[in-house]
Copies of this chain bind each other. A is one copy, B any other.
Amino acid sequence: MSGMSFNSENNFYYSPMAYTARCSSVVPSPTPIVRPNGMYKSSGDSLPQFQPTRKLDYELELAFFISNPVPSGTIVSPESAEEHIFGYVLMNDWSARDIQMYESLPVGPLNCKAFGTTISPWVVMPEALAHARTEPRNQRARKDQIPAHLKQDNLSQSTYEITCHAFLQRSGSEVAKPVSTSSTAHMFWSPGQLLAHRASTGCGLLTGELIGLGTVSSPEELWPDKSLERRGCLFEITNDGKEDVNINDIGGRWLEDGDIVVLEAWAPGDDGVKIGFGKVSGRVLPETSSSMLKTTNKNGTHI
């Protein structure tokens, strides 16, 4: 599984920048998420410590499963890439930003993204999203920079206009309050381009692989309604915890124990019908203290 990361690095506009992640921690909604322990240095620490994350975040993402595999030694054009996509899920790529910063050099995310990745109850087929087909809005202006293996003939119909919503229900509140709204049409790369880039070494792609398209955030210039937050994770909303969230009476900078994050997404269907993915929800459970953590005995059973 790869989570594609939207970021402001220049390289991102020449080819997708992404990391590979674990499949063992992918869970269906509404599996609770335990606040993970990991290595990082807090402000008071003289050395890095193994401790619970204090910068727990969600990431609102669209992702797809591979059905028809790509054989090793084979490359795929962005157009034909779609023939390998089984269907789409809505995904919460939970992230621990303090652990992520610690792990960022020299080889990037490891444990910071390996404690829970929640996917929607429904896998939506590309056929059901036919009415949502559109052009990736940001790519046209940079079209001349797209490398040959990612040039897409059918660019104007290569991605989807799916409106994504994130809600947060804080402990003590009885409702999940809206935090952000954004559109997958604003993601720079199309799903076909992401798949084509991932396969471009000839590595082959296997049936069942899950490929994330990156956090769905709508750029400011394409989202003039300032009353709505348009960024799909707290890292972007709070500028890495430098500002409070301050949306719908929701304060703080990161996820708290007891918080329930709910994601929804809607695509336009035939005759005004709306096509959804089901709710992607997960409640944050407090960290397990080291003394409470289960360990395994020699037979691998809990003791």
A205 in the interface (beta carbon within 8 A): yes
Which residue in chain B gives the minimum CB-CB distance to A117? Answer: B203
Interface residues of A (CB under 8 A from B): 2, 5, 7, 9, 11, 14-15, 17-25, 34, 36-39, 47-50, 68-77, 80, 83-84, 102-111, 114-115, 145, 147-150, 197-198, 200-206, 288, 290, 293-300, 302
A74 touches B206 (CB 8 A): no
CB distance from A199 to the nearest CB of B (A): 9
A-B contact pairs, 28 of them (CB 8 A): A9-B106, A14-B47, A15-B39, A18-B107, A19-B19, A19-B20, A19-B107, A20-B21, A20-B22, A24-B72, A24-B206, A37-B200, A37-B201, A39-B147, A50-B150, A69-B300, A74-B296, A74-B302, A75-B293, A76-B295, A80-B296, A104-B108, A107-B109, A111-B197, A111-B200, A114-B203, A115-B202, A149-B290
> Across the interface, which residues of B come within 8 angstroms of A288, CB to CB?
73, 202
Indicate if the CB atoms of B48 and A147 lie closer than 8 Å: yes
Q: How far is the CB of A168 from chain B (nearest CB, A)?
A: 23
| Chain B residues within an 8 Å CB radius of A299 | 68, 83
B14 touches A114 (CB 8 A): no
Q: How far is the CB of A116 from chain B (nearest CB, A)?
A: 8
User: Chain A interface mostly helix, strand, loop or mixed?
Assistant: loop
- Counting from the closest, the 8 A-B pairs by CB-CB distance are A108-B108, A115-B201, A19-B107, A36-B201, A25-B203, A50-B147, A68-B300, A24-B204
A186 to B28, CA, bound (A): 42
What's the least CB distance linking A44 to chain B, in Å?
A: 16
Q: Is the CB of B108 within 8 A of A107?
A: yes
Q: A18-B107, A24-B205 are in contact. List 12 more A-B contacts (CB 8 A).
A: A7-B106, A19-B109, A25-B204, A68-B300, A74-B295, A76-B296, A80-B296, A83-B298, A83-B300, A104-B106, A108-B109, A148-B290
Q: Is the CB of B115 within 8 A of A203?
A: yes
- Closest B residue to A20 using CB positions: B20
